[in-house]
Chain A
Amino acid sequence: MARIRRAGRLGTLGVDVGSVLNLVGALLKYLGATFLFPTAVALGYGEPSWPYLAAGAITAATGLLLERGTHGKERVGVREGFLVVALTWLVVPAFGALPYLFADEPQLAGPVNAYFEAMSGFTATGATVLTDIEALDRSLAMWRQFTQWLGGMGIVVLAVAILPRLRVGGRQLFQAELAGPTEVERLSATIRETARRLWILYVGLTAVAIAVLAVIGWTGLDSAMNLYEASAHAFSTLSIGGFSTQEESLAAFGVATQWAVLVFIVVAGVNFLRLYLLLVQGKGRAVANDDEFRLYLAFLVAGGALLLGELLAGGLADGEEAIRQAAFQSVSIMTTTGFVTTDYTTWSPLAELTLLLLMFLGASAGSTGGSIKVVRHLLMFRIIRRELEQTVHREAVVPVRLNRTVVEDRALRGVVTFIVLYIGLFAFGALGLVIDAKQAALDLTSFEALGAAAACLGNVGPAFGFAGPFGSYADFSDSSTGLLTVLMWLGRVEIIPVAVLLTRTYWRA
């Protein structure tokens, strides 16, 4: 009896789980190849390379088995798209954590910590449980940086660009991952070609960043910079990640490096679709007239100015240093990068609060940054303005526009839903941390809890207190670390793909 009923229920399942697993399997199969990069680095530096080879083999084999064991389909449906995205971002870091475990690195011993570190890598967050980064093998440190670069532009977008079978069905995936409030614009007739161009641009910009940083090293402008550091930091800059090979992050490097990295962060925070139009097709107007781009710049300038004022008023720094420190910290935190050039927790409560609030802005939609993102703030502002207008003029019909085109009500509701969910997750996340800290007898202030929740959900990285810029998340208990890992995951997939999985209608036929 039970068996029949179960079969009946499976029959009415509305989601083709088999094809989802099949696609995730294919993805893992290819992910196995990326482990060759740290292998090469390990060989170059004479470090053991077997952890990467083993991790790569396991990843590829699992992927192959998963792919063989299920049936794939060419077309990915709307529903399946959500599950693919949610699952990919959950599974990929799990395999990405294998080298941490295999390398026998004492700081990343437990599976919880290793998974946290890998999740922080792939989601381009930049939060770390390491307390002594410089103690890592060179190859392991590079793998850490490399995971950020892989995750920055999006694994699923990469899959759409290269997986042969997603030639036609990649649209849903692309839309689900490169989530913004409005329909993704296309750079060419096919989504596949669009995804490919985005990745080419991403690779190109990374190459430029490596070159610039390496030149700074070679010309002697910054003695701490070399090709290894240039690559490592270019990876975590263009991906708006924030991992560093140095315990002191960018403070370990010279002024020239800091300014160069700052410029690349600002570039990486622009919508890549717009960036492509500007850099490759030379359409400057498409960017200059973009509502989101203008507000993005305005936010950057305002955030920097605010912090600069606080620094100068508090007598904490002056001259070029004040400008650089204010600009770097505000840009890095607002775009959700997470690099630092100083320990901002020593500044002032006002500066700390400013930075906490900046964590909620984020970069542009379609960039490699996280958090709420500028365009949602823009639309939210216009929604509120319309609401107020209609309070006075009850019958008025007021369309909300973005770049002169009308944004559909559905998309607007999506923006409100996202922001409410985001704030809700932030609040409950912080609450969970505080409760758990009490259980674990950890000295955690409520501000630090709020900071950690915001920094993980927004894929920023450093928070406040012991989890501050030069600190580590290592002090959190395993359950707190797990909670923060989930927040990073939710933040990267932009909540909705996971939230729909929790509804009953999603699974029903």
Chain B
Amino acid sequence: MDIIVVGAGQVGMTIVEALHDEHDVTVVDLDAARLQALSYRYDVRTVAGNGATRRVLQEAGVGEADLMIACTSRDEINLVAAMLAKKLSGGQTIVRTSNPEYIEAWQERQIDVDFMVSSELETAHAVSRTIGVPAAKQTDVFAEGQVQILEFDVPAEDGRESVTGVPLTEAAERAARRSPGGRFAEVVGRPLREARIPPESKVASIIRGERAIVPRGDQAIMPGDRVVVIGSPTAAKEWSRIMARGERPVDDIVVFGAGQTGLAIARVLLTEGIRVRVVEPNPERAREVAEDLSEARVYCATGIDTDFLERERIGQARAAVFAMREDAKNLYAATLARVHGIGFTIAIVHEPVSVEVFERAGIDVAVNPRSVTAEEIVRFAHDPRIRQLAMLEGDRFEILDITVREESKLVRTPFKDLPITGSLIGAIVRDGTAIFPHGDDVLVPGDRAIIFTESRRVPEVEKAL
């Protein structure tokens, strides 16, 4: 594959390192000296200049490129580069962003990019996985949030999904070990008709390796699969718990530092139903975050105020995440938190060198946002399965939101008698309320049906309803 990487910072560097062996990589960056250093280490072509200009992209051979990765630290540069690449080549584009609103717009297909990765969100998911809650990737929301479509990675048999490249101490291993059995075993590994699927939800698709399996009653979810689920917000939370493999959900996590990353972490944990406390020294920012996160308890304090730690019983928290801007502060506060009795500490690192320092100092997990982001991008470039799902709405699957017509021949047919095809009615919205249909429910004209279907069946489905 011909790949162009715009931006040779930490993220770009990690991507180049992972991809340069198998692919033809061209790196674009403003900083010629940085490019020179890069070309000494890896066998890549370099172009010095602004990657958001047509001239530079053409110089980099955008016309022949199969994939363009825009991963500078500036969102708008990345977006412009991707826009140009879309026009100048037939290849795919990946954009790195730090703004969750861009991700939302992208999910709603208002930004024409094949894949969008947010450092903050990836970091938050990584933290969430470390704590033992496999975060669902929410791909879409319908009917004012009453219907959610989520995808989960089903944990493999032998335990946890590793946060690659991050050293783990024994404590982390222990915390990550999950008790076998429980609800997990009642859902995974047995035929769907016998599995105890949470009410108000449906399995829309099971993706195993290269294949997408239509989830009939005799199919089973297996460890290592990726599943797409349609369900209510309550059911979504239950799925998260099941995917945590029966582990008691972690409660009470303290997040130190409420920058972009800290906020994203707090938000992800809250949606998993975990009680979160946030500590932010800047009064202005603390206020903003408190207004934003109505469910979290926000303190305006520093993590090194022992009186505060004592008074608020911070030591009793199950885990603490240190997401302040400076590695040294994170280390200092994490060490202090351990003294106060917090058993499990996770720190966000910004300098690669800190990973080792943190490990020596006894911090349980270190998460590097830049390497997490790079990994996600590399996985997209490598793994077709992820690509399929990322394009859930694009190539292979589509989610349709159709209002049922009076003339439809499926009206008033019980769901259990509907013909089995590659498509599935995940939910219906009747008079503004979402219903997750069972075998005896029937379609009524005027219902909004939310349908998960293979792209080639779209005309068929539209005709039927």
**A residues whose Cβ falls under 8 Å from a Cβ of B:** 393-399, 401, 404, 406
Binding-face segment, B166-174, B229-237, B284-292: B284-292
> A397 is contacted by which of B290, B308, B311 (Cβ under 8 Å)?
B290
Does B297 interact with chain A (Cβ within 8 Å)? Answer: yes
Residue pair B291, A396 in contact (C-beta under 8 Å) = no
Distance in Å from the Cβ of B280 to the closest Cβ of chain A? 8
Distance in Å from the Cβ of B213 to the closest Cβ of chain A? 41
User: Can you offer 6 A-B residue contacts whose CB atoms are under 8 A?
Assistant: A393-B311, A394-B308, A395-B299, A395-B308, A396-B297, A397-B300
Residue pair A396, B294 in contact (C-beta under 8 Å) = no
Give chain B residues whose Cβ lies under 8 Å from the Cβ of A393. Answer: 297, 299, 311-312
Whole-angstrom CA separation of A301 from B436 in the bound complex: 37
Does B390 interact with chain A (Cβ within 8 Å)? Answer: no
Closest to A389 in B: B297
Does B141 interact with chain A (Cβ within 8 Å)? Answer: no
Distance in Å from the Cβ of A268 to the closest Cβ of chain B? 30
Within 8 A of A (CB), among B288-336: 289-291, 294, 297-301, 308, 311-312
Residue pair A394, B311 in contact (C-beta under 8 Å) = yes
Q: Which 5 A-B pairs have the closest CB atoms?
A: A395-B301, A395-B299, A397-B290, A397-B298, A406-B291
Whole-angstrom CA separation of A393 from B312 in the bound complex: 7
Whole-angstrom CA separation of A188 from B330 in the bound complex: 50
Closest to B281 in A: A395
Give chain B residues whose Cβ lies under 8 Å from the Cβ of A397. Answer: 283, 286-287, 289-290, 298-300
Whole-angstrom CA separation of A401 from B291 in the bound complex: 9
Closest to B283 in A: A397
Distance in Å from the Cβ of B337 to the closest Cβ of chain A? 16
Give chain A residues whose Cβ lies under 8 Å from the Cβ of B311. Answer: 393-394
Residue pair A399, B291 in contact (C-beta under 8 Å) = yes
Whole-angstrom CA separation of A394 from B298 in the bound complex: 11
Give chain B residues whose Cβ lies under 8 Å from the Cβ of A406. Answer: 291
Whole-angstrom CA separation of A399 from B294 in the bound complex: 8
Distance in Å from the Cβ of A284 to the closest Cβ of chain B? 12
Distance in Å from the Cβ of B412 to the closest Cβ of chain A? 30
Residue pair A401, B294 in contact (C-beta under 8 Å) = yes
> A399 is contacted by which of B287, B299, B300, B312 (Cβ under 8 Å)?
B287
Residue pair B294, A395 in contact (C-beta under 8 Å) = no
Residue pair A398, B300 in contact (C-beta under 8 Å) = no
Whole-angstrom CA separation of A266 from B289 in the bound complex: 39
| Contacts across chains A and B counted by CB atoms under 8 Å | 32
Whole-angstrom CA separation of A401 from B299 in the bound complex: 17
Excluding A393-B299, A395-B308, A395-B312, 20 further A-B contacts by CB distance (< 8 Å) are A393-B297, A393-B312, A394-B308, A395-B301, A396-B297, A396-B298, A396-B299, A396-B300, A397-B286, A397-B287, A397-B289, A397-B290, A397-B298, A397-B299, A398-B290, A399-B287, A399-B290, A399-B291, A401-B294, A404-B294
Whole-angstrom CA separation of A401 from B293 in the bound complex: 12
Give chain A residues whose Cβ lies under 8 Å from the Cβ of B294. Answer: 399, 401, 404
Whole-angstrom CA separation of A399 from B283 in the bound complex: 12
Most chain B beta carbons < 10 A, residue from A393, A397, A398: A397
Distance in Å from the Cβ of A197 to the closest Cβ of chain B? 27
Whole-angstrom CA separation of A395 from B297 in the bound complex: 10
Give chain B residues whose Cβ lies under 8 Å from the Cβ of A399. Answer: 287, 290-291, 294
Whole-angstrom CA separation of A398 from B300 in the bound complex: 10
Give chain B residues whose Cβ lies under 8 Å from the Cβ of A396. Answer: 297-300
Whole-angstrom CA separation of A396 from B314 in the bound complex: 13
Distance in Å from the Cβ of A286 to the closest Cβ of chain B? 15
Give chain A residues whose Cβ lies under 8 Å from the Cβ of B301. Answer: 395
Closest to B297 in A: A396
Distance in Å from the Cβ of B89 to the closest Cβ of chain A? 45
Whole-angstrom CA separation of A406 from B289 in the bound complex: 12
Give chain A residues whose Cβ lies under 8 Å from the Cβ of B299. Answer: 393, 395-397
Whole-angstrom CA separation of A398 from B308 in the bound complex: 17
Closest to A401 in B: B294
Within 8 A of A (CB), among B328-364: none
Whole-angstrom CA separation of A224 from B297 in the bound complex: 61
Distance in Å from the Cβ of A479 to the closest Cβ of chain B? 50
- Would you give the 0/1 interface string for B35-77, flagging 1 where the beta carbon is closer than 8 Å to chain A? 0000000000000000000000000000000000000000000
Distance in Å from the Cβ of B276 to the closest Cβ of chain A? 13
Give chain A residues whose Cβ lies under 8 Å from the Cβ of B283. Answer: 397
Closest to A405 in B: B291
Whole-angstrom CA separation of A109 from B218 in the bound complex: 95
Whole-angstrom CA separation of A399 from B286 in the bound complex: 10
Distance in Å from the Cβ of B111 to the closest Cβ of chain A? 28
Give chain A residues whose Cβ lies under 8 Å from the Cβ of B308. Answer: 394-395
Give chain A residues whose Cβ lies under 8 Å from the Cβ of B298. Answer: 396-398
Whole-angstrom CA separation of A251 from B387 in the bound complex: 77
Distance in Å from the Cβ of A393 to the closest Cβ of chain B? 6
Closest to B289 in A: A397
Most chain B beta carbons < 10 A, residue from A395, A398, A399, A404: A395
Within 8 A of A (CB), among B232-280: none
Distance in Å from the Cβ of B314 to the closest Cβ of chain A? 11
Closest to A396 in B: B299
Distance in Å from the Cβ of B102 to the closest Cβ of chain A? 24
Distance in Å from the Cβ of B287 to the closest Cβ of chain A? 6
Whole-angstrom CA separation of A399 from B298 in the bound complex: 10
Give chain A residues whose Cβ lies under 8 Å from the Cβ of B287. Answer: 397, 399
Residue pair A395, B300 in contact (C-beta under 8 Å) = yes
Whole-angstrom CA separation of A31 from B153 in the bound complex: 73
Closest to A394 in B: B311
Distance in Å from the Cβ of B270 to the closest Cβ of chain A? 16
Whole-angstrom CA separation of A406 from B311 in the bound complex: 27
Give chain A residues whose Cβ lies under 8 Å from the Cβ of B297. Answer: 393, 396
Distance in Å from the Cβ of A386 to the closest Cβ of chain B? 11
Distance in Å from the Cβ of A409 to the closest Cβ of chain B? 9
Whole-angstrom CA separation of A401 from B308 in the bound complex: 26
Closest to B294 in A: A401
Closest to B308 in A: A395
Whole-angstrom CA separation of A404 from B291 in the bound complex: 10
Whole-angstrom CA separation of A395 from B299 in the bound complex: 5
Whole-angstrom CA separation of A397 from B301 in the bound complex: 10
Closest to A285 in B: B432
Whole-angstrom CA separation of A118 from B306 in the bound complex: 65
Give chain B residues whose Cβ lies under 8 Å from the Cβ of A394. Answer: 308, 311
Give chain B residues whose Cβ lies under 8 Å from the Cβ of A401. Answer: 294
Distance in Å from the Cβ of A385 to the closest Cβ of chain B? 14
Distance in Å from the Cβ of B306 to the closest Cβ of chain A? 13
Distance in Å from the Cβ of A147 to the closest Cβ of chain B? 44
Whole-angstrom CA separation of A393 from B301 in the bound complex: 11
- Would you give the 0/1 interface string for B220-232, flagging 1 where the beta carbon is closer than 8 Å to chain A? 0000000000000
Whole-angstrom CA separation of A406 from B287 in the bound complex: 10
Whole-angstrom CA separation of A394 from B279 in the bound complex: 12
Whole-angstrom CA separation of A393 from B299 in the bound complex: 8
Distance in Å from the Cβ of A177 to the closest Cβ of chain B? 30
Closest to A404 in B: B294
Whole-angstrom CA separation of A393 from B290 in the bound complex: 14
Distance in Å from the Cβ of B61 to the closest Cβ of chain A? 51
Whole-angstrom CA separation of A406 from B298 in the bound complex: 15
Closest to B290 in A: A397
Closest to B287 in A: A397
Whole-angstrom CA separation of A404 from B295 in the bound complex: 12
Give chain B residues whose Cβ lies under 8 Å from the Cβ of A404. Answer: 294
Whole-angstrom CA separation of A135 from B308 in the bound complex: 73
Distance in Å from the Cβ of B333 to the closest Cβ of chain A? 15
Whole-angstrom CA separation of A396 from B312 in the bound complex: 10
Distance in Å from the Cβ of A502 to the closest Cβ of chain B? 33
Closest to B305 in A: A395
- Would you give the 0/1 interface string for B75-111, flagging 1 where the beta carbon is closer than 8 Å to chain A? 0000000000000000000000000000000000000
Distance in Å from the Cβ of A283 to the closest Cβ of chain B? 13
Closest to B286 in A: A397
Distance in Å from the Cβ of A401 to the closest Cβ of chain B? 7
Whole-angstrom CA separation of A12 from B223 in the bound complex: 80
Distance in Å from the Cβ of B171 to the closest Cβ of chain A? 28
Give chain A residues whose Cβ lies under 8 Å from the Cβ of B291. Answer: 399, 406
Distance in Å from the Cβ of B134 to the closest Cβ of chain A? 30
